[in-house]
Amino acid sequence: MNTTQQSLYERLGGQEGIAKVVDVFYDRILADDTVNHFFKNTDMEKQRRHQALFISFATGGPNQYTGKSMTKAHEGMNIKHEDFMTIVNHLVAALKEFNVTDEDIQAIAEKLLPMEKDIIEK
């Protein structure tokens, strides 16, 4: 199967590949003092699992995500646009570590960036 026939989910390596990206993503976030405070009271094992399932669903994989809505999950966190963009940049960097193409990174961004309105200043 060539890459034009594969779903974005498949090009990312399926659930296993996405879980690896998510691990690097959260390692980067937790090392960043400008945003790691958002996760200080978070069960990171559960968070990593939920994020991997969410990204899998968002990229065309099976719908196994059963977490809260974006608005509910971020309620009371008071995330600003700058925080959101810092986290997006950590995701982009994690994807690049796994040699994800710029085209696929753009496709992921197009799915995730519209969610900003449900995340910031909640």
Residue 37 is assigned to a ligand binding site: no
Contact between 32 and 102 (Cβ < 8 Å)? no
Place of tokens 């034009």: 4
Residue 74 is assigned to a ligand binding site: yes
Query: Phi and psi of 92, rounded to 5°?
Result: -60, -45
Place of tokens 């026939």: 5
Annotated binding site: 50, 74
Annotated binding site for heme: 50, 74
